[in-house]
């Protein structure tokens, strides 16, 4: 059996990695968690933390799983990329796009036809990594019953439930602009609001949104995201990957100045247009709902809740050489120097 190291370097990593941990343990593999002191308190009692470099060596991981784009290249075993979102349009391909190859991963676990062929072509070009279409593990619980989601919906008392989420990227985030209309919309009381922000949003924005919580609204954090999505009727967002997660549940999305408008979204250009757009979305317009189904067929067609199991199977295939011979990855001195600080934050020097 293999040893799996789960790199939870960000709070949003936890809901992506936990289904993989469950699938790995069910298959008889060992699992350890690597995270910094900020994320460590969020680990469950049965999620063992690797807390020193000596413990990391003793664990002897066969594979390391990550949701972030950059990881210390000295982490053990094969490196597996799971991604931290579905959205491939947040940035251009040039620069920091979804398809940028950084020479850090041995296996990319893709989500659907919108990404798999492109990564497969890059794999043929580079020759030092493999690609498997597994689906996204974070979504596995999305298709299972959730008492927590039922409780959120019950709190609405029969009112429509509206979820608001935002990315942290300053040029794309709608969160500051929405503060001009949300206090009034929430105080009106005709809808129940579930509010959340990306963990990397600035503290002052968190404070402003937490202050909106009360009788007609609740503020929750990243680990509660799936329960919020299951409870809501419509999502208000910008250019966050949360959009795709909501669309997977066949639910409409209203966006404020999204970077890539498309038929599956109801996009408005000003915060004042949000209120009327929510009413339209709650009516579930047939044309938009059909566009949602067509879009999701490309982004993430798997709805069986077994993506994590496919990740484990693909990883075991990689470890067994089942993807054929791969060229050794090029080692960049610059990347290794940059990774030292990241490694130091994760593990002390002993």
- Identify the three-state secondary structure at position 66: strand
Tell me the Ramachandran region of residue 34: left when phi exceeds 0, alpha when psi lies from -120 to 50, beta otherwise: beta
Distances (CA, A) of 226 to 148, 195, 235, 239, 334: 10, 13, 12, 18, 37
* pLDDT grade for 73, boundaries at 50, 70 and 90: confident
Whether the per-residue pLDDT at 349 is higher than 70: the answer is no
Q: Torsions phi, psi of 13, nearest 5?
A: -70, -30
- Residue ranges, comma separated, of all CATH 3.40.50.11820 domains in the chain are 3-140+305-346
147-299 belongs to which homologous superfamily?
Glycogen Phosphorylase B; (3.40.50.2000)
Whether the per-residue pLDDT at 336 is higher than 70: the answer is no
Instruction: Write down the pLDDT at residue 264.
Output: 95
Segment 143-161 mean pLDDT = 95
Segment 71-91 mean pLDDT = 81
Which residues, 6 or more positions from 49, have their beta carbon under 8 angstroms from its beta carbon?
A: 32, 33, 34, 35, 40, 43
Whether the per-residue pLDDT at 282 is higher than 90: the answer is yes
- Identify the three-state secondary structure at position 229: helix
Segment 136-154 mean pLDDT = 92
Instruction: Write down the pLDDT at residue 91.
Output: 47
Contact 233, 251 (CB under 8 A): yes
Comparing 349 with 252, the larger pLDDT belongs to 252
Segment 164-192 mean pLDDT = 94
Give me the DSSP letters along 157-198.
TTSPEEEE---S-TTT--HHHHTTTHHHHHHH-SSEEEE---
Range with the poorest average pLDDT among 23-27, 50-54, 300-304, 329-333:
329-333
Instruction: Write down the pLDDT at residue 95.
Output: 42
Does CATH place domain 3-140+305-346 in 1.10.3720.10?
no
Comparing 39 with 95, the larger pLDDT belongs to 39
Which residues, 6 or more positions from 246, have their beta carbon under 8 angstroms from its beta carbon?
A: 163, 229, 232, 235, 237, 253
pLDDT tens, 211-268?
999 999 999 998 899 899 999 999 999 988 899 889 999 999 999 999 889 999 999 9
Distances (CA, A) of 336 to 65, 68, 135, 209, 332: 18, 16, 30, 38, 6
Residue bearing tokens 């060229």? 327
Instruction: Write down the pLDDT at residue 333.
Output: 57
* pLDDT grade for 94, boundaries at 50, 70 and 90: very low
* pLDDT grade for 107, boundaries at 50, 70 and 90: very high
Which residues, 6 or more positions from 216, have their beta carbon under 8 angstroms from its beta carbon?
A: 186, 187, 188, 189, 191, 192, 193
Rg (CA), the chain: 21
Whether the per-residue pLDDT at 335 is higher than 80: the answer is no
Whether the per-residue pLDDT at 174 is higher than 60: the answer is yes
For all residues of the chain together, what is the average pLDDT? 91
Structure token digits, residue 160: 């429509």
Whether the per-residue pLDDT at 313 is higher than 90: the answer is yes
Residue bearing tokens 């490196």? 79
Instruction: Write down the pLDDT at residue 89.
Output: 58
Residue bearing tokens 């008392």? 157
Alpha-helix residue ranges (DSSP H) falling in the chain = 14-26, 53-59, 116-126, 147-155, 175-178, 182-188, 203-210, 225-231, 242-247, 274-282, 286-299, 307-319, 333-346
Strands 161-164 and 78-81: unpaired
Instruction: Write down the pLDDT at residue 85.
Output: 83
Quick one: DSSP state of residue 28?
T
* pLDDT grade for 210, boundaries at 50, 70 and 90: very high
Segment 276-288 mean pLDDT = 97
Whether the per-residue pLDDT at 337 is higher than 70: the answer is no
- Residue ranges, comma separated, of all CATH 3.40.50.2000 domains in the chain are 147-299
Segment 122-126 mean pLDDT = 94
């Amino acid at each position: 059996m293999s040893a799996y190291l789960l790199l939870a370097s960000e709070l949003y990593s936890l809901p992506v990695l936990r289904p993989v941990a469950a699938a790995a343990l069910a298959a008889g593999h060992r699992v350890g968690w690597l995270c910094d002191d900020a994320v460590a308190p969020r680990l469950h009692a049965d999620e063992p933390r690797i807390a020193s470099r000596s413990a990391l060596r003793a664990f002897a991981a066969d594979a390391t799983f990550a949701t972030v784009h950059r990881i210390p290249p000295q982490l053990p075993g094969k490196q597996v990329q799971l991604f931290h979102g579905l959205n491939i349009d947040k940035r251009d391909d040039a620069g920091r796009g979804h398809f940028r190859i950084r020479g850090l991963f041995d296996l990319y676990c893709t989500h659907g036809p919108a990404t798999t062929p492109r990564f497969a072509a890059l794999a043929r070009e580079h020759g030092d990594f493999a690609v498997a279409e597994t689906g996204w593990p974070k979504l596995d619980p999305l298709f299972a019953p959730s008492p927590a989601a039922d409780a959120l919906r019950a709190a609405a008392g029969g009112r429509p439930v509206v979820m608001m989420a935002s990315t942290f990227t300053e040029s794309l985030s709608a969160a500051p602009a929405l503060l001009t209309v949300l206090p009034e919309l929430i105080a009106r009381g005709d809808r129940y609001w579930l509010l959340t922000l990306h963990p990397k949003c600035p503290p002052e924005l968190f404070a402003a949104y937490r202050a909106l919580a009360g009788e007609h609204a609740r503020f929750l954090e990243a680990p509660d995201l799936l329960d919020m999505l299951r409870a809501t009727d419509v999502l208000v967002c910008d250019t966050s990957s949360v959009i795709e997660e909501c669309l997977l549940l066949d639910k409409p999305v209203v966006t404020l100045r999204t970077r890539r408008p498309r038929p599956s979204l109801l996009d408005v250009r000003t915060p004042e247009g949000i209120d009327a757009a929510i009413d339209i979305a709650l009516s579930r317009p047939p044309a938009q709902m059909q566009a949602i189904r067509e879009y999701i067929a490309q982004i993430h067609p798997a709805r069986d809740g077994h993506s994590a199991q496919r990740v484990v199977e693909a990883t075991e295939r990689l470890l067994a050489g089942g993807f054929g011979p791969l060229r050794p990855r090029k080692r960049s001195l610059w990347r290794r120097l940059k990774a030292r600080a990241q490694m130091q934050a994760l593990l002390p020097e002993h």
